[in-house]
Amino acid sequence: DIQMTQSPSTLSTSVGDRVTITCRASQTIRSWLAWYQQKPGKAPKLLIYKASSLESGVPSRFSGSGSETEFTLTITSLQPDDFATYYCQQYNDYPLTFGGGTKVEIK
Amino acid sequence: EVQLLESGGGLVQPGESLRLSCAASGFTFRTYAMSWVRQAPGKGLEWVSGINGNGGSTYYADSVKGRFTISRDNSKNTLYVQMHSLRAEDTAVYYCAKEMCSSTNCYAIDYWGQGTLVTVSS
């Protein structure tokens, strides 16, 4: 199975900051990576697919990059609505696997 | 508007069985792969199982292989997961999920249900 490792697990930050979250795959997944945002008590929301494609309706301050085994999610100028937990997921092979999550919290 | 509505969750004892259902609407159900994803209380997301559009291919996480069976009824626009030999570690919110796919690959989950809670406890 492909293991997905996210870092950091928690990020304390402020409104207006630039945030970068990293996701590493245990083997190459080409560009088959998605990023999700989840708020407490809610279902996850798709942000990015195929490593760098922005889902419709998602603000342009979110961006994704990377390929093979290393990927990043970047949020430029963090907004109050962005405090949440973020997950990566690989879609290269079954079983599909998620990263452990990164909680973005208010400093 | 895409809607996914899960049902069937509840409290069961270890070793018992449960079947979850997911009623789908707002899209051509039979043409999309679907998944079940779960989240234990206070924990991260865990993909559980997936099925292609015609039901001919199914996939499972190692943690549920041999105990869970995913299926779909395209005439009823409904996704199922039959869960046997339930364990305390299966306690979680179970989400029904629609996959975003091209003609050749699926590459994300673009719609999620609201989730149904399964609690396995004596």
Residue B34 has pLDDT above 90, yes or no: yes
Predicted local distance difference test score (pLDDT) of residue B105: 84
Decide if B108 and A49 are in contact by the 8 Å CB cutoff.
Answer: yes
Inform me whether the C-beta atom of residue B45 falls under 8 Å from chain A C-beta atoms. Answer: yes
Which residues in chain B are contacts of A98 at CB distance < 8 A? 44-47
Interval B80-96 mean pLDDT: 98
**3-state SS class at A81:** helix
| Radius of gyration in angstroms for the set of CA atoms belonging to chain B, rounded to a whole number | 14
- Relative to beta strand B34-39, strand B3-7 is unpaired
Q: Which of B22, B21, B8, B7 is nearest to B98 (CA)?
A: B22
Take residue A34 and report the two structure tokens written for it: 């998605």
Per-residue pLDDT at B32: 95
Of B46, B106, B109, the CB nearest to A46: B109
For range B32-54, the mean pLDDT? 97
Q: How far apart are CA B42 and CA A100, in angstroms?
A: 12
Amino acid at B41: P
* Residue in A36, A45, A95 nearest the CB of B61: A95
Residues of B in contact with A46 (CB under 8 A): 100, 108-110
**Euclidean distance between CA atoms B40 and B82, whole angstroms:** 18
Q: Which residues of B touch A32 (CB under 8 A)?
A: 105, 107
Pick from B60, B109, B112: which is nearest to A95 by CB? Answer: B60
The two tokens of residue A7 are 């870092």
Put simply, the answer to whether B110 touches A55 (Cβ < 8 Å) is yes
Q: Is the pLDDT of residue B59 over 90?
A: yes
User: For a pLDDT cut of 70, what percent of chain B falls above it?
Assistant: 100
**Quick one: closest CA in A to B35, which residue?**
A96
